[in-house]
């Protein structure tokens, strides 16, 4: 299963919960607001296999002035945990393109607890040099209804840059990604990777027009 499909499956579930409080993506757009993911941390204990039935769950855990935190998890039908994902989202005012307070803009916080702390995610930085650099074409199939690139494709681009041989011999154990700037249909992104062969940690970043779009780190193990 592709990392992008995994994340898409989880996001679909949160849209369901948000829909019950009129806060799913399309409903937010109508109110001039948008959910924007800032960071994910994912642990993949076991990658789902073709045809396997899964139970996908989500819970809005907490929020503070800026961030809204949500957990996702995937279990097999025997209740064995396969994937854990924690995430931080912000709400933006689409016209002003700036962050607004999550708590103020939501009538229902889905049982999430208000906290004052900012949760720590992995600190991800763009490395100074790279081992791999590849131009990435944005296709119509990468675009969502709002004419933005669906950022779950970033995983595919990042993994793909390592080459099919690497992907076939390794298994992703965990992944951190931080989103900086959205890509649009006119962007001409470059995908970079730096590989630490000893630790099997790969760092990935995407830039367009000299600006960083996202940076990620994947920890692998040999299959």
DSSP letters spanning 49-115: -TT--EEEEEEEEEE-SS-EEEEEEEEETT--EEEEEEEEEEEEETTTTEEE-HHHH-S--TTPEE-
Q: Does 167 bind a copy of itself (CB under 8 A)?
A: yes
Q: Is residue 68 within 8 Å of residue 91, measured between CB atoms?
A: yes
d(CA 43, CA 215): 17
Q: Does 23 bind a copy of itself (CB under 8 A)?
A: no
Q: Give strand pairing partners of 149.
A: 143
d(CA 214, CA 39): 9
Query: Which CB, 102 or 175, lies closer to a copy of itself?
Result: 175
Q: Does 30 bind a copy of itself (CB under 8 A)?
A: no
Residue 182 CB, nearest approach to a copy of itself (Å): 16
x/- map, 112-141, a copy of itself, by CB under 8 A: -------------------------x-xxx
Residue 119 CB, nearest approach to a copy of itself (Å): 30
Residue from 76, 84, 156, 180 in contact with a copy of itself (CB under 8 A): 156
**Positions in the binding site for a copy of itself (CB under 8 A):** 2, 4, 15, 50-51, 137, 139-141, 143, 145, 156-157, 159-160, 164, 167-168, 185
């Amino acid at each position: 299963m592709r990392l992008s499909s995994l994340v898409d499956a989880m996001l679909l579930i949160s849209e369901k919960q948000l829909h019950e409080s009129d806060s799913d993506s399309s409903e937010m757009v109508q109110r001039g607001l948008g959910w924007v993911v800032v960071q994910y941390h994912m642990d993949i204990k076991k990658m789902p296999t073709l045809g396997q039935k899964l139970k996908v769950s989500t819970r809005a855990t907490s929020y503070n002035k800026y961030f809204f935190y949500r957990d996702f998890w995937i279990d097999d039908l025997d209740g064995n945990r396969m994937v854990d994902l924690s995430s931080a989202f912000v709400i933006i005012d689409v016209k002003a393109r700036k962050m607004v307070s999550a708590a103020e803009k939501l009538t229902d916080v889905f049982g999430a607890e208000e906290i004052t702390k900012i949760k720590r995610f992995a600190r991800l930085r763009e490395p100074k040099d790279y081992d791999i650099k590849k131009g990435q074409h944005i296709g119509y199939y990468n675009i969502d209804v709002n004419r933005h690139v669906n950022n779950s494709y970033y995983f595919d681009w990042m993994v793909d840059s390592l080459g099919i041989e690497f992907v076939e011999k390794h298994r992703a154990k965990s992944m951190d990604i931080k989103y900086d700037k959205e890509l649009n249909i006119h962007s001409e992104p470059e995908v970079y990777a730096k590989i630490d062969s000893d630790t099997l940690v790969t760092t990935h970043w995407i830039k367009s027009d000299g600006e960083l779009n996202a940076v990620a780190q994947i920890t692998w193990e040999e299959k």
